[in-house]
């Protein structure tokens, strides 16, 4: 039975997201382990203050530039992401031309198909994942299976709420991995090329805005811009970027925030 969340509840948005995940669990889209993973993310979001930090914004801008420069970008989608941000995933794919691949840690063909159908309802076309028949090197079992024409051959992969092993294995394949993960200490956050420590919905919305802005700038500067080599562009974007520094900034933000809350007499509720 569906519980009606009172709109004036102080944690209305958060409860709505939980409700959505539970609903998607019963529809065979989200795996039960995904519900636990979401709880870990919520805990970090609480510490961060449930908003996008400056460092997350910097990482998101770099990620947008990388996606626009990529030769073969792929957005990897799991059950939680499909439940929480289907509209944003499809919009990002449309504005960047990145393909979408359903890629599951606890893979079943039925769940792949259900996620694909859900994304198609939001307008996605050509969703990959059903024909995963090749393994990411070093990752045995079904959790390492991807499509050759998708994640396997991609130069850039965007992952959200990812497992550390898989993220590391993609980096080891020489790919640029953009990770969205609220936990700055997770193995995923630590091993990705660019880590956005932010909620997946907020991060994707910001990324779409950056992409649109950059596309407009590119249009305006069309005549001035030379046809540049994409590989050099990646190097150029990443030269001025230090992922370790970004992660440290998030940790410092959390520490500063908690210290100021501990020292203040005002209400701590957010």
Site map for ligand ATP, 198-237, x if CB under 6 A? -xx-------------------------------------
Residue 205 and residue 212: Cα distance in Å, rounded? 11
Name the segment binding ligand ATP (CB under 6 A); options: 18-26, 33-41, 51-59, 67-75.
Answer: 33-41
Distance between CA 131 and CA 145 in Å, rounded?
9
Burial class (CB in 10 A: 0-12, 13-18, 19+), 24: buried
What are the b/e assignments for 237-258, b being 16+ CB within 10 Å?
bbeebebeebbebbeebbeeee
CB of 17 to ligand ATP, least distance (A): 7
Instruction: Please state the closest distance from residue 96 (CB atom) to ligand ATP, in A.
Output: 19
Ranked by CB distance to ligand ATP, the top (closest) residue is 41
Q: Encoding tokens for residue 66? A: 């990388």
Among 24, 31, 44, 208, binds ligand ATP (CB under 6 A): 44
Binding residues for ligand ATP restricted to 117-176, rule: CB under 6 A: 161, 163-164
Task: Compute CA 17 distance to the chain's CA centroid, rounded to the nearest angstrom.
Answer: 16
Residue 84 or residue 154: which is nearer to ligand ATP going by CB?
84
Binding-site size for ligand ATP (CB under 6 A) equals 18
Site string for ligand ATP, 175-194 (x = CB under 6 A): -----xxxx--xxx------
* Core vs surface per residue 105-131: b (16+ CB within 10 A) or e: bebeeebbebbbebbeeeebeebbbee
Q: Which residues bind ligand ATP (CB under 6 A)?
A: 37-38, 40-41, 44, 84, 161, 163-164, 180-183, 186-188, 199-200
């Amino acid at each position: 039975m569906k519980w009606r969340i009172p709109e004036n509840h102080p944690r209305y948005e958060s409860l709505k997201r939980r409700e959505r995940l539970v609903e998607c669990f019963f529809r065979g889209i989200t795996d039960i382990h995904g519900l636990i993973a979401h709880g870990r993310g919520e805990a970090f979001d609480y510490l961060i203050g449930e908003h996008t930090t400056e460092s997350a914004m910097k990482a998101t801008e770099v990620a947008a530039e990388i996606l626009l420069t990529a030769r073969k970008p792929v957005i990897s989608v799991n059950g939680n992401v499909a439940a929480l941000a289907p509209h944003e995933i499809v919009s990002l794919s449309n504005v960047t031309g990145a393909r979408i691949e359903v890629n599951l840690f606890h893979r079943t063909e039925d769940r792949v198909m259900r996620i694909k159908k859900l994304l198609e309802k939001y307008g996605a076309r050509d969703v990959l994942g059903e024909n995963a028949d090749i393994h990411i090197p070093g990752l045995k079992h079904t959790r390492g299976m991807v499509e050759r024409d998708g994640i396997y051959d991609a130069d850039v992969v965007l992952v959200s709420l990812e497992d550390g092993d898989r993220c590391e294995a993609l980096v080891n394949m020489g790919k640029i991995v953009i990770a969205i993960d609220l936990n700055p200490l997770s193995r995923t956050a630590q091993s990705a090329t660019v880590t956005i420590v932010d909620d997946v919905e907020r991060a994707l919305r910001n990324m779409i805005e950056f992409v649109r802005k950059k596309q407009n700038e590119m249009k305006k500067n069309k005549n001035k811009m030379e046809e540049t080599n994409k590989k050099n562009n990646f190097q150029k974007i990443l030269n001025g970027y230090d992922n370790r520094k970004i992660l440290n900034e998030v940790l410092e933000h959390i520490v500063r925030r908690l210290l100021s809350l501990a020292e203040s007499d005002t209400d701590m509720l957010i």
